[in-house]
Amino acid sequence: MPHVAPNRWALRALALLMSMAMIFAVPLAESASAHGSVVDPASRNYGCWLRWGNQFQNPVMQQQDPMCWQAWQDNPNAMWNWNGLYRDNVGGNHQAAIPDGQLCSAGRTQDGRYRSMDTPGAWTMANLGSTFDIRLTDQARHGADYIRVYITRQGYNAVTTPLAWGHLELIRETGKYAPSDTYMINGINKGSRTGRHVVYTIWKASHMDQTYYFCSDVNFG
């Protein structure tokens, strides 16, 4: 039987179809892996992504935002994956799962990807009043069994001291949230605190034993 050369137009059409299939497959994969974070007041890595994601190689960051600079230098994936700062199978025993000094990285989760979040220093702060709200985005609509909000005690120095459980006071624990894009915790009272503090938020997702941990740097005027 004589050999028949493949039709070049058929090959081009096949290549085009395969390329289109890959284009549509990638966003679906990314969407399925999305999770969430506290976006206001911004968690450390979300804030670094928000301020510098479009110019993360700009050397001016080193002077203007040195804590974000050290984070980008250590592991850029901590910012690109700002929505993945979680641990699985904690079973609600947060203090056993996360050692002192590693609260902002969820105990060096994801093979230490977020370890630079634990570095004490002059992180960029959100200025808050005597009461404030927390906005948490849930891209994957996991729902929440509860959200806990802690604030550091007066006298804690976030510039020099890695965060430990003993530095925190539990201010609010919510009930369940049905799956949604956004969860709001309204009317949180700072008490008598003034100056620089860390707001520490624990989000226990509902879809499985998966818990998220966020450090947000704030200033109470």
Would you state the pLDDT for residue 33?
53
More confident residue, 1 or 194: 194
Q: Which residues neighbour 97 within 8 Å (Cβ) at sequence distance 6 or greater?
A: 87, 90, 107
Query: Collapsing DSSP states into helix, strand and coil, what is residue 125?
Result: coil
Looking at the domain that runs over 35-220, which CATH code has it been given? 2.70.50.50
What is the DSSP code string of 51-86?
HHTTSTT-TTHHHH-HHHHHHHHH-THHHHTTT--E
The neighbour count for residue 43, using CB atoms within 10 Å, is 28
Q: Does the pLDDT of residue 201 top 90, yes or no?
A: yes
Q: What is the DSSP letter of 116?
A: G
Domains of the chain, by residue range, sit at 35-220
| Tens of pLDDT, residues 167-183 | 999 999 999 999 999 99
Nearest to 170 by CA among 194, 146, 206: 146
Give the phi and the psi of residue 86 in degrees, each rounded to 5.
-145, 165
Would you state the pLDDT for residue 84?
96
More confident residue, 26 or 77: 77
| Tens of pLDDT, residues 110-169 | 999 999 999 999 999 999 999 999 999 999 999 999 999 999 999 999 999 999 999 999
Mean pLDDT of the chain: 89
Q: Which residues neighbour 42 within 8 Å (Cβ) at sequence distance 6 or greater?
A: 50, 126, 216
Residue with tokens 């994936």: 77
Residue with tokens 């028949």: 4
- The whole-model pTM stands at 0.85
Q: Where are the alpha helices (DSSP H) in 98-193?
A: 109-112
Helix 66-74 × helix 44-52 angle, to 10°: 90
Would you state the pLDDT for residue 17?
40
Residue 136: which H helix or E strand, with range?
strand 131-138
Break the chain down into helix, strand, coil percent, rounded to 5: 30, 30, 40
The whole-number average pLDDT for the span 10-24 is 38
Would you state the pLDDT for residue 165?
98
